[in-house]
Amino acid sequence: MSESAFSHLSLAEPLSRAVAEMGYESMTPIQAQAIPVVLTGRDVMGAAQTGTGKTAAFSLPLLQRMLKHENASTSPARHPVRALVLLPTRELADQVAQQIKLYAKYTNLRSAVVFGGMDMKPQTAELKRGVEVLVATPGRLLDHIEAKNAVLNQVEYVVLDEADRMLDIGFLPDLQRILSYLPKQRTTLLFSATFSPEIKRLASSYLQDPVTIEVSRPNTTASTVEQHFYSVVDDDKRRAVRQIVRQRGITQAFVFVNSKLGCARLARSLEREGMNTTALHGDKSQDERLKALDAFKKGEVDLLVATDVAARGLDIKDVPAVFNFDVPFNAEDYIHRIGRTGRAGASGLAVTLVSPSDTRLMADLEKLLKRKIEIEPLEFDDERPRGRINDGRRTWRERGEDDDRAAPVRTEERRRDGRSASAPKDPFFDQPYEPPPREEAPAWEANAKPATRSISANIKPKRKVAALFKAEQ
Ligand code: AMP
């Protein structure tokens, strides 16, 4: 029997039955490390991303520990909230809640999810009936706390999932406020893609003597992603997508853009040009977003144009290709974006379209990836005359040399380096993820406002999301 078999854990029968039904054969690295620790009741600080199996890593041991409270009573008082799972986005909350429901299906433990953009009434009714595991986005949870629908004084376990993204979106004051409602005696689990200074400070404020667990991105994911950076002027980018999709016979792809406005506009243009496209961004209603996601999952649409916030952590596996229509503002988002493809051993293609104005962003990305990036020219294969000659490699180098903030990419250096960005293997991904060093004070410390608020964060998504994109929105 494998060292990482679930049977080593002695999970209660209802939980191991659910796990067996899910078809899981062995634990993923984060599960093998985190489950035994959480079973002991220790706090955990875990560096792991969505796609590593972290939902089961925290929910299985929490459910196991809560089984002692399990009961079939219909009285709400017998089903107080004992575990709280906080996530940054509606889609993630929905996804995690669905998984928890599956793991708990043979127990009498109840779970529910609350997030903004949906009518509060059905959520209120569910909360009033009593739930042991509550999955929530921070803003909507505060609405329910204020309306006295959610009482959190019996919470024993808190999970701050995708904590780095919650801070990015500006949820720190909401998190502080929520945590102030919880009993001091509790187990706190924090999961984050990175351990930035902000995350470390959050952990030191709210976790007690945590066990740190770090898992690298699965090597199979990373090393099977073929990465290309093509120099393409903005006006030619849609054409580039169409050509690559056609030439490579790509059936489905994510197309990442940097702004909500650009997202909707690009999806409309691609659709007009005959590509079966939908958009996923924060300005869509919850219903529209879930529909878009569902249509993509069912294969009814070929291209899903998305912003980083909307797409982060979505459980969509085996997307054959990812296009970075815009070079991400935040270099770390490159890692998240291309993590959508090449999962589970499947090979994937990640194409980044680099325009001459992306010099600084590309320099940031080189710094993060710790290697030179080769920008390839893209030859268009149709006859249609174009306005510009796409000698992108030269354009890129010239811009780089003009701009002393950027690290110019020189052919000689590349030759000396002996590496090529188009090679599918990338040693960066075989290492545990390390954020770039930062000297300035954590933004949330400097800007942290008193934890007061009048209405839900989810009612004002624009301002929160705008914080990510600053002037571009
Ligand atoms: P997560 O990172 O928790 O979002 O999980 C990503 C995907 O991996 C989900 O679809 C899970 O159902 C799946 N998964 C989680 N644990 C395992 C496992 N031990 N074996 C196979 N698949 C798993």
Predicted confidence at residue 315, as pLDDT, reads 64
pLDDT over 50 (residue 336): yes
Distance 180 CA to ligand 1 centre (A): 32
Burial annotation 27-36 (CB, 10 A radius, 16+ → b, else e): bbbbbbbbbe
Identify the band that residue 313 occupies on the pLDDT scale cut at 50, 70 and 90: low
**pLDDT tens-place string over residues 38-81:** 999 999 999 987 778 899 999 999 999 999 999 999 999 999 99
Q: Are 52 and 181 within one domain?
A: yes
Q: End of a domain among 326, 357, 377?
A: 377
Predicted confidence at residue 44, as pLDDT, reads 97
Average pLDDT over residues 208-221: 71
Name residue, tokens 């959190």. Answer: 152
Higher pLDDT, 83 or 197: 83
Distance 422 CA to ligand 1 centre (A): 29
Choice from 99, 319, 343 to test ligand 1 binding pocket (greatest atom count within 8 A of CB): 99
- Ligand 1 first shell, C-beta below 6 A: 24, 27-28, 31, 50-56, 315
pLDDT over 90 (residue 236): yes
Q: Are 187 and 239 within one domain?
A: no
- Decide: 327 and 348 in contact? Cβ < 8 Å: no
**pLDDT tens-place string over residues 30-48:** 999 999 999 999 999 999 8
Identify the band that residue 345 occupies on the pLDDT scale cut at 50, 70 and 90: low
Residue 93 lies in a domain: yes
- Nearest-CA residue for atom 19 of ligand 1: 27
Predicted confidence at residue 440, as pLDDT, reads 42
Average pLDDT over residues 296-317: 80
- Nearest-CA residue for atom 11 of ligand 1: 53
Q: Are 291 and 321 within one domain?
A: yes
Q: By percentage, how much of the chain surpasses pLDDT 70?
A: 75
CATH of the domain at 370: 3.40.50.300
Cα distances (angstroms) measured from residue 168 to each of 75, 82, 286, 326, 468:
39, 27, 21, 20, 7
Look at the chain and report how many structural domains it folds into: 2
Residue 254 lies in a domain: yes
Q: Are 209 and 269 within one domain?
A: no
Domain span including residue 363: 225-377
Q: Are 201 and 284 within one domain?
A: no
Q: Are 246 and 370 within one domain?
A: yes
Edge-to-edge strand order for the sheet containing 211-214?
Answer: 111-114, 133-136, 83-86, 157-160, 187-192, 44-47, 211-214
Higher pLDDT, 457 or 93: 93
- Full-model pTM: 0.59
- Nearest-CA residue for atom 6 of ligand 1: 51
Choice from 55, 89, 165 to test ligand 1 binding pocket (greatest atom count within 8 A of CB): 55
Out of 4-8, 210-214, 233-237, least confident range: 4-8
**pLDDT tens-place string over residues 368-403:** 888 889 999 998 876 454 433 333 332 332 333 222
Identify the band that residue 210 occupies on the pLDDT scale cut at 50, 70 and 90: very high
Distance 296 CA to ligand 1 centre (A): 20
Q: Are 196 and 302 within one domain?
A: no
Residue type, 115: F
**pLDDT tens-place string over residues 145-160:** 999 999 999 999 999 9
Angle at which helices 90-103 and 54-66 cross, to 10°:
50
Identify the band that residue 201 occupies on the pLDDT scale cut at 50, 70 and 90: very high
Q: End of a domain among 377, 407, 436?
A: 377
pLDDT over 90 (residue 86): yes
Q: Are 210 and 280 within one domain?
A: no
Neighbours of 197 (CB within 10 A): 17
Residue 452 lies in a domain: no
Q: Are 231 and 194 within one domain?
A: no
Predicted confidence at residue 455, as pLDDT, reads 34
Distance 375 CA to ligand 1 centre (A): 35
Residue 426 lies in a domain: no
Among 469, 438, 434, 467, which residue's Cα sits nearest to residue 192? Answer: 434
Q: Are 122 and 267 within one domain?
A: no
Predicted confidence at residue 82, as pLDDT, reads 98
Q: Positive or negative CA dihedral for 460, 465, 470, 472? A: negative
Q: Are 162 and 268 within one domain?
A: no
The helix/strand count (H/E) of the chain reads as 20, 14
Among 127, 187, 118, which residue's Cα sits nearest to residue 157? Answer: 187
Q: Which atom of ligand 1 is nearest to the CA of 24?
A: 20
Identify the band that residue 16 occupies on the pLDDT scale cut at 50, 70 and 90: very high
Distance 71 CA to ligand 1 centre (A): 28
Residue 269 lies in a domain: yes
Choice from 15, 22, 38 to test ligand 1 binding pocket (greatest atom count within 8 A of CB): 22
Residue 437 lies in a domain: no
- Nearest-CA residue for atom 13 of ligand 1: 53
Q: End of a domain among 377, 400, 430?
A: 377
- Decide: 390 and 232 in contact? Cβ < 8 Å: yes
Average pLDDT of the chain is: 79
Q: What are phi and psi of 249, to 5 degrees?
A: 60, 40
pLDDT over 60 (residue 5): yes
Residue 141 lies in a domain: yes
Residue 79 lies in a domain: yes
Q: Are 194 and 244 within one domain?
A: no
Q: By percentage, how much of the chain surpasses pLDDT 90?
A: 52
**pLDDT tens-place string over residues 87-124:** 998 888 999 999 999 999 999 999 999 999 889 999 99
Q: Which atom of ligand 1 is nearest to the CA of 54?
A: 3
Cα dihedral 382→387→389→391 (10° resolution): -100
Neighbours of 160 (CB within 10 A): 29
Distance 312 CA to ligand 1 centre (A): 16
Neighbours of 403 (CB within 10 A): 13
Distance 51 CA to ligand 1 centre (A): 6
Higher pLDDT, 316 or 134: 134
- Nearest-CA residue for atom 15 of ligand 1: 53
Among 326, 311, 262, 309, which residue's Cα sits nearest to residue 463? Answer: 309
